[in-house]
């Protein structure tokens, strides 16, 4: 695309619009917004702007579209695929200051928020109303970032991902026009589903500024359990058997032995060093929960379980989930000086044991250090590859393994990315996964963003 060079005239327009303190070309601000949590190379924007309201975003985007200046939305930079990197420079819109909870309607199980509200902060505010926003990406991501990537997490198996928990959006289109697709009803058969078109589009079709989220009641009772197995194959088969039995866990997480060892080392844990499943069940009575856990234990035993601990108390349960959420960070801490790529495939549940086995054997065959864990209950596998990314020979092996693993997931009817998004790293797999549908996606992009200013370089190229 033919983008226009950002000028001092453009900078003055933005400073006059939002004020000098909310538009910066300072080196530190440009540097902070040049990289995320991924291994991808950094890209510097020309300017960072912190809007306060939808109307400001509209005016900025309309101006940028007229001048052919790229615009990239930014949450907190926790993305793992380069999703918010300004690959063509231009304007980064940082939503840090659009962080207001606009209305809590607990009686409707809904909340209205600005895009910069952080997930964990939102749930702290909601808990006094007995409700919570269920998708849990682990990191304290913004709601706008979660919507952009269709984030999910450990509770997806019970509550679904972000896409399943959004009722209404406020979106600024590439020409600055403001639309508000969706409604407050529990269901609708009216019109095209623009809400779900926007969710997961990574800011390439429009920029989300506000959202109405669907909430769930905080469960009265829960029961957590930890099961260990002689092999990853036994653990993944147990995942399938638990789901096939209709138990409906609130969370079901897999950790391979390498990940468990890192957690024990970095978090001073005392987990048995073996392939492990973390499980959680929720309900309204202790009796019902006890029956679910007992049933789960029998399924684990049928698959050669070497240890089963249930009745985990609230404090220990919270510590377990904190350790699971921190697994990637612990892996990085345990391997100083190395670089990391995290694969994020998802497959049909019946194929999950095969997928995990294939991924583990592939990195072993290539002689690569790796860690496998993931949201097993919904078929999502995270595989962290660690190594020296300045070593060309290693990068060749890394890229070959990555291609084989992702291609295998797609061949099983799965996806290149279960929750991290396409960003920069997964764009090359879009033709393989979507085939002829990709051309329709490109046509939609051309209609909604004909000048290609919205988060260019991600998901779909118009060239």
Q: What is the mean pLDDT of residues 333-346?
A: 95
Q: What is the mean pLDDT of residues 322-334?
A: 93
Contact 348, 364 (CB under 8 A): no
pLDDT digits (tens, 9 = 90+) for 380-423: 999 999 999 999 999 999 999 999 999 999 999 999 999 999 99
In this prediction the pTM is 0.94
Inform me whether the pLDDT recorded for 463 exceeds 80: no
Q: What CATH code would you report for 101-217?
A: 3.30.465.10
Q: How far apart are CA 1 and CA 450, in angstroms?
A: 10
Alpha helices in 210-252 (DSSP H): 232-244
Inform me whether the pLDDT recorded for 317 exceeds 90: no
Cβ-Cβ contacts under 8 Å for 420 (sequence gap 6 or more): 79, 80, 81, 83, 149, 342, 344, 426
Arch. (CATH architecture) of 335-434:
2-Layer Sandwich (3.30)
For 8-96, the fitting CATH number among 3.30.43.10, 3.40.640.10, 3.90.1170.50, 3.40.50.1000 is 3.30.43.10
221-327 and 335-434 have identical folds: yes
Contact 228, 274 (CB under 8 A): yes
Contact 449, 459 (CB under 8 A): no
Q: What CATH code would you report for 221-327?
A: 3.30.70.2190
Domains of the chain, residue spans: 8-96, 101-217, 221-327, 335-434
Q: What is the mean pLDDT of residues 238-253?
A: 93
Q: How confident is the model at residue 72 (pLDDT cuts 50, 70, 90)?
A: very high
pLDDT digits (tens, 9 = 90+) for 74-128: 999 999 999 999 999 999 999 999 999 999 999 999 999 999 999 999 999 999 9
* Beta partners for residue 223, in sequence order: 281
Q: How far apart are CA 277 and CA 256, in angstroms?
A: 9
Burial of 178 (0-12, 13-18, 19+ CB in 10 A): middle
Q: How confident is the model at residue 313 (pLDDT cuts 50, 70, 90)?
A: confident
Q: What is the mean pLDDT of residues 308-329?
A: 86
pLDDT digits (tens, 9 = 90+) for 10-45: 999 999 999 999 999 999 999 999 999 998 999 999
């Amino acid at each position: 695309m033919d983008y226009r060079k950002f000028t001092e005239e453009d900078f003055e327009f933005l400073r006059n619009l939002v004020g000098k303190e909310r538009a910066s070309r300072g080196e530190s601000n440009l540097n902070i917004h040049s990289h995320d949590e991924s291994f991808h190379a950094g890209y510097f924007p020309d300017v960072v702007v912190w809007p306060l309201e939808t109307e400001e975003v509209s005016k900025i985007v309309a101006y940028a579209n007229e001048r052919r200046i790229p615009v990239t939305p930014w949450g907190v930079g926790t993305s793992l695929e380069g999703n918010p990197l300004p690959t063509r420079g231009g304007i980064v819109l940082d939503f840090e200051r659009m962080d207001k909870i606009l209305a809590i309607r607990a009686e409707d199980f809904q909340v209205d928020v600005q895009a910069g509200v952080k997930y964990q902060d939102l749930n702290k505010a909601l808990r006094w109303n007995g409700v919570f926003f269920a998708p849990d990406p682990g990191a304290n991501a913004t709601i706008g970032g979660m919507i952009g990537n269709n984030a999910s997490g450990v509770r997806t198996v019970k509550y679904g991902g972000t896409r399943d928990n959004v009722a209404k959006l406020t979106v600024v289109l590439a020409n600055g026009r403001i639309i508000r697709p969706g409604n407050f009803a529990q269901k609708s058969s009216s019109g095209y589903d623009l809400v779900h078109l926007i969710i997961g589009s990574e800011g390439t079709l429009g920029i989300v500024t506000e959202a109405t989220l669907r909430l769930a009641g905080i469960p009265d009772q829960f029961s957590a359990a930890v099961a260990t197995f002689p092999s990853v194959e036994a653990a993944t088969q147990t995942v399938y058997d638990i789901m096939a039995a209709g138990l409906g866990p609130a969370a079901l997480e897999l950790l391979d032995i390498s990940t468990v060892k890192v957690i024990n080392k970095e978090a001073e844990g005392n987990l048995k060093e073996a392939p492990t499943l973390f499980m959680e069940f929720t309900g309204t009575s202790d009796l019902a929960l006890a029956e679910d856990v007992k049933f789960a234990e029998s399924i684990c035993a049928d698959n050669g379980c070497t240890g089963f601990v249930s009745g985990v108390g609230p404090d220990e349960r919270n510590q377990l989930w904190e350790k699971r959420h921190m697994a990637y960070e612990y892996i990085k801490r345990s391997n100083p000086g190395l670089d990391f790529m995290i694969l994020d495939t998802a497959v049909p549940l019946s194929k999950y044991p095969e997928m995990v086995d294939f991924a583990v054997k592939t990195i072993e065959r290539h002689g690569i250090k790796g860690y496998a864990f993931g949201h097993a209950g919904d078929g999502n596998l995270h595989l962290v590859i660690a190594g020296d990314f300045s070593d060309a020979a290693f990068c060749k092996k890394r890229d070959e393994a990555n291609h084989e693993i992702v291609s295998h997931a797609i061949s099983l009817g799965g996806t290149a990315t279960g929750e991290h998004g396409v960003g920069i790293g997964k764009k090359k797999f879009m033709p393989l996964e979507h085939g002829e549908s990709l051309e329709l996606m490109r046509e939609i992009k051309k209609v909604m963003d004909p000048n290609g200013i919205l988060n260019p370089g991600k998901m779909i190229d118009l060239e």
